[in-house]
């Protein structure tokens, strides 16, 4: 049986990869993809804790899985909005590189 | 057996994630993301979260990847086949590795003795979702509605545009 800590380490690795992507990429589309990776890392963590610590402490039985469902819902909404914003950005500035969108930069 | 599957899925998901952040081609990055997300669905199966695995494949594999590919297609930049990273990428790598250096020891030191992974039935999830979590569930539907309407309003062309 795989211990809880290995799932947590997997989630830490995915989160760090996503964080690197958010900071290092220039294209807004790739930044959205990296955010999806980070959200998935959080979901792995929640679901692993839910299924390994079920009934212990203050955990109700399905709380972790249900929070993960809500995270997936918010992720879907976020991707839809991100697509709209990226389209608008591309139409106005003909670029999706976030470092060229510097109208409000001092 | 669980270990064998876990190692394969971990390699696939981390490899897919690295592909997303390292490849030079946007479409390849989207396909790497698909590999990573499907591997994460497999991880949910190891954790006996069948419903979440199903949702993951349907929503991430089905909807979100398609939406991202739409974004790639509709914003056809000339530099998509050979994109470049920020100048600050070494700094980003250092920061990310520093976070990893904090997370890994904290998970290992504070490791809890969990119970064995247990099965969670569809019935129980549904019951919990519509009793204890009924209010967040309704708010989630409102969030989706607002996000969709907002996306339509942002993306449609205004009166002065073609």
pLDDT in tens, B81-138: 677 777 888 999 999 999 999 999 998 888 777 666 666 678 888 888 899 889 999 9
Tens-place pLDDT, residues B6-56:
999 999 999 999 999 999 888 899 999 999 999 999 999 988 888 899 999
| B61 close to A (CB below 8 A) | no
In CATH, the number for domain B1-83 is: 1.20.120.1200
Residue A81, domain member (yes or no):
yes
Domain total in chain A: 1
Residue A8 lies in a domain: no
The range of the structural domain enclosing residue A96 comes to 30-106
Q: Name the pTM for this structure.
A: 0.89
> Inter-chain contact B68–A60, Cβ cutoff 8 Å?
no
> What residues of A are in contact with residue B34 (Cβ under 8 Å)?
none
Q: Chains A and B: how many Cβ contacts under 8 Å?
A: 252
Dihedral Cα A12, B139, B151, A47, nearest 10 deg: 20
Per-residue pLDDT tens over the stretch B139-161: 999 999 999 999 999 888 766 66
Task: Please indicate, yes or no, if residue A35 is contained in any of the structural domains.
Answer: yes
Dist CA A30 CA B102 (whole Å): 25
Separation between Cα atoms, residue A20 and residue A23, nearest integer Å = 5
The verdict on a CB contact (< 8 Å) between B14 and A48 is: no
Inter-chain CB proximity B100 and A13 less than 8 Å: yes
Q: Nearest-CA neighbor of B42 among B10, B90, B79?
A: B10
Domain ranges of chain B: 1-83, 121-157
**Within 13 Å and on the Cβ side, how many CA atoms surround B94?**
4
Instruction: Give the helix ranges, DSSP H, for B56-109.
Output: 65-74, 89-109
Tell me which residues of chain B, numbers 98 to 117, contact chain A at a CB-CB cutoff of 8 Å: 99-100, 103-104, 107-108, 111-112, 114-117
A21 lies in a domain? Answer: no
């Amino acid at each position: 049986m795989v211990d809880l800590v290995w799932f947590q380490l997997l989630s830490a690795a995915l989160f760090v990869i996503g964080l690197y992507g958010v900071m290092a990429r220039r294209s807004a589309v790739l930044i959205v993809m990296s955010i999806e990776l980070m959200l998935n890392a959080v979901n792995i963590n929640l679901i692993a804790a839910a299924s390994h610590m079920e009934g212990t402490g203050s955990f109700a039985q399905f709380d972790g899985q249900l929070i993960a469902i809500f995270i997936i819902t918010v992720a879907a909404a976020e991707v839809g909005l991100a697509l709209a914003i990226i389209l608008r950005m591309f139409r106005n500035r003909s670029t999706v590189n976030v470092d060229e969108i510097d109208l409000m930069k001092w | 057996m669980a270990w064998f599957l876990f190692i394969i899925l971990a390699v696939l998901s981390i490899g897919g994630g690295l592909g997303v952040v390292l490849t030079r081609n946007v479409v390849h990055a989207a396909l790497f993301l698909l590999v990573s997300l499907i591997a994460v669905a497999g991880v949910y199966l190891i954790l006996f979260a069948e419903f979440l695995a199903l949702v993951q494949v349907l929503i991430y594999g089905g909807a979100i990847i398609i939406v991202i590919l739409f974004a790639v297609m509709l914003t056809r930049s000339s530099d998509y086949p050979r994109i470049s990273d920020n100048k600050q990428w070494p700094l980003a790598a250092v920061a990310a590795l520093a976070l990893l250096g904090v997370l890994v020891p904290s998970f290992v030191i504070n490791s809890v003795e969990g119970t064995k992974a247990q099965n969670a039935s569809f019935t129980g999830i549904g019951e919990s979702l519509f009793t204890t979590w009924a209010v967040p569930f309704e708010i989630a539907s409102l969030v989706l509605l607002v996000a969709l309407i907002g996306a339509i309003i942002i993306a449609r062309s205004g009166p002065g545009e073609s």
